[in-house]
Chains A and B, each alone.
Chain A
């Protein structure tokens, strides 16, 4: 059973736009999605986050109608969606490689959805112009897609999908083909656009930074199951599983022993409400600081350690601290000049978040920020 089913459904409540009910999908013998249930509220920005092979794109394709679920149902505003062909669903998709029609110019691409519905010519012209203005591409109306850059094609794909005024827009890794700078810029434009049009976005990405920056809620998928679904702040500060803790941001996983409200991990110990026995705790690197006389932390856990490695990255630096017995903790502290030797460190016991054990993955994700 996935952790998502037991974790709270996040901040949004009330009306539901789209509901995925116990959906599973298999391709032959391989099960790609296992019993997924989730809801999307009107106007919400929900991100499906996961490694390649986690099933996030498959879920998107099920909602768009390009694949049929093996079991389960998809509903949209009291209408069963999964039995309808794609062209009858009131959702639109922005494809990973944009999928612009190469034989049509920008204007014709954007007009496509209205043309196949045989909308009046006057209306088409007006709405195409409006859509192109919205994505700031009006001056490229007569260009062929092949002559446009990736970012420009991206905007056209957005305009083309939004012109049908869907209630839900599906975006399949739309920014993954762009270079880093453009990507950041498109992220903020995308977010602004989403607020402006008020359409619910279901956004697929493998990039956790992108998910954090854009989403109202993040649904983390792992091997076809929902690992956790929560707001970015919640999923970061209260990861339910070790996998979530390691996938979203960096973390230290401490495998401690709880006895009568006290955790022991190596030489360290702190108070917890966790039940007795083995327990796993996630401590974010930025929760660990250099101990300072002026620093007052509630439930402070102090320990001494030797700095093995210092990695400078501008505003902050990452320290690898040996706390004895080869127990390594990573700390992210504000940039503070070269450090070495033994120091005293501190973190608050409330920053040691108990997480559930996850199925064995041998790869450490703590330093792997781009799972691919």
Chain B
């Protein structure tokens, strides 16, 4: 048995860390969301005005809807890319498996910002894509709609989050005993039926985990809209950023943050329950 002192000493640093850098900021944020700013100064007067503003001003709702739409698109696109990739690697890549796996993972080592700027370079009016299209005489003028659109944001976030979606799906597929696949074929199911009846259901926990990653991370993203999104792709986190910055309305920013946090937490809670329902020993 460990002594009381030992336990206290060993658990102090992580508790301190979590308390100082997680719980305290959240508590402050929560408190701020019930305060007010008047004439450029913070008033510690408890009220619900910020939340009322959120639900009465259609701007916030619109931006939030757009954010959810973008996050959903990113999730869908990265699932459509990540699942087949994971399936191929797990079941059909043979000896190339290791190498391909590393290739999928490599982008994770590259800074998010660098990848963002890379997309800016590719999609811009003088960018690689426009140059290529003009070279092929498909377009005459540089097209400006690639960059600074929700499409560009979805593209960039899909590129960034596909490995995050790939990883849990791949892990789930790798955990499926191959004897189950053989048993399915043995009982008369061809490849398609085996996939639909055995492999897909057994990979649902991985699929849910991947989808949650992509959706939640996209939901809170503010760099992609800044770099490649433009005003038409402003997301909820950009609003929060400006409220905490130039607009100097911390209480309203905090209220929005609390809402995002609640949505995220309930989403995580829901998917975890779903994952549990779909995992079997």
Contacts and interface: CB of A to CB of B under 8 A. Distances in A.
Genuine A/B complex: yes
B190 A85 contact: yes
B190 A103 contact: no
B180 A64 contact: no
Interface stretch (B84-92, B118-126, B181-189): B181-189
A106 B180 CA distance: 15
B117 interface: no
Contacts of A93: 182-183, 186
Contacts of A115: 197
Contacts of B182: 64, 66, 86, 93, 95, 99
Contacts of B193: 116
Interface centre among B182, B185, B188 (most CB of A within 10 A): B188
A65 interface: yes
Secondary structure call for the B interface: helix
Interface in A36-63: none
Contacts of A144: 280
Interface in B172-205: 177, 179-180, 182-190, 193, 197-198, 201-202
B198 A101 contact: yes
A87 interface: yes
Nearest to A66: B182
Contact of B188 (A66, A97, A103, A164): A164
A160 interface: yes
A86 B280 contact: no
Interface string A64-107: 11100000000000000000011100011101110111110000
Contacts of A64: 182, 186
A103 B172 CA distance: 14
B276 to A, nearest CB: 13
Interface string A301-325: 0000000000000000000000000
B46 interface: no
Interface string A245-266: 0000000000000000000000
A283 to B, nearest CB: 43
A40 B198 CA distance: 32
Nearest to A172: B179
B202 A112 contact: no
Contacts of A100: 183
A365 B86 CA distance: 48
A87 B187 CA distance: 6
Interface centre among B184, B187, B190, B202 (most CB of A within 10 A): B187
Interface centre among A85, A91, A113, A146 (most CB of B within 10 A): A113
A161 B179 CA distance: 14
A272 to B, nearest CB: 50
B189 A101 contact: no
Interface in B87-114: none
A62 to B, nearest CB: 13
A96 B183 CA distance: 11
B137 interface: no
A363 interface: no
B281 A164 contact: no
Given A95-B179, A101-B198, A160 B187 contact: yes
Contacts of B177: 97, 99
A121 interface: no
A275 to B, nearest CB: 50
Nearest to A88: B188
A117 interface: yes
A97 B193 CA distance: 22
B278 interface: yes
Contacts of A103: 201-202, 278, 280
Contact of A85 (B185, B187, B198, B278): B185
Given A99-B180, A101-B180, A102-B202, A116 B280 contact: no
A117 B188 contact: yes
Contacts of A97: 177, 179
Contacts of B185: 65-66, 85-87
Nearest to B182: A66
B183 A87 contact: no
A101 B183 contact: yes
27 contacts: A64-B182, A64-B186, A66-B182, A66-B185, A86-B185, A87-B189, A87-B190, A93-B182, A93-B183, A93-B186, A95-B179, A95-B182, A97-B177, A99-B177, A99-B180, A99-B182, A100-B183, A101-B180, A112-B189, A115-B197, A116-B187, A116-B188, A116-B193, A117-B188, A144-B280, A161-B187, A164-B187
Given A103-B202, A146-B280, 15 more contacts: A64-B186, A85-B190, A87-B186, A87-B187, A93-B183, A93-B186, A99-B177, A99-B180, A101-B183, A101-B184, A102-B202, A103-B278, A103-B280, A161-B186, A161-B187
Interface of B: 177, 179-180, 182-190, 193, 197-198, 201-202, 278, 280-281
